[in-house]
Amino acid sequence: MQFKYVATGLVLTLALAGCQRTSYSPYNDLPSQPAPLQAQPVQGVQGSQLPPPGGASQYPAAPQQGQNMAMADPNAAAPASALDVTKQQMVGNWRVSNGGASCDMFLTLTNLGSGSRGGTRGCSGELTTMGSWEVSGKMVQFKNRNGDVIGRVYKSADNRFDGTTNSGQPLNLSR
């Protein structure tokens, strides 16, 4: 009988010992507030008048007659050697070469505005803004999210398309 009381007391002691707080936090040694920052000297502020509106323009001048505008025209025609192209041939993943750099382009048949949804990964320049694409005659036009044409290509061989961006950078798609 005495063993029963000793065992009960031992179990009760162990149970109560498990209730005490023994946690450790590495943040206990940190000060409660960081030290204040030291003031730094500041240069004087300068002021002047802005130039009057209509002065030097921040926009480039419009192209003059005789300059090459063929690829800047969204309705530019493909060369005579261009092969026929359909939307179904374009769907999927393409490897893009643009101005010496490579990236990926993904084209779907999901409608977006007047074209189909598309996008790029790892591209630079105008292609980063691509949001849609469409086939126009023998040309494939790539458009930004506002619907403006940013580049176009034509089919030059099976699984190969060549063209340019609006800025004149060469643009090649292949699989």
In a domain, 78, yes or no: no
Q: In what helix (H) or strand (E) does residue 8 lie, and over which residues does it extend?
A: helix 2-17
In a domain, 110, yes or no: yes
Phi, psi of 132 (to 5 degrees): -155, 175
What stretches of 18-175 show up as alpha helix (H) in DSSP? 87-90
Closest Cα partner for 91 from 113, 114, 112, 110?
Answer: 110
Say what the pLDDT of residue 73 is: 53
Amino acid identity for residue 81 in this structure: S
What is the domain extent for residue 133? 87-174
Say what the pLDDT of residue 20 is: 57
In a domain, 22, yes or no: no
- Looking at the structure of the chain, the number of domains it has is 1
Average pLDDT of adjacent 10-residue blocks, the chain of 175 residues = 72 66 62 75 75 59 44 64 92 92 94 88 91 94 92 94 91 94
Rg of the chain taking only CA atoms, in angstroms: 34
Say what the pLDDT of residue 72 is: 46
In a domain, 66, yes or no: no
Say what the pLDDT of residue 70 is: 40
Q: pTM value?
A: 0.57
CATH of the domain at 154: 2.40.128.10
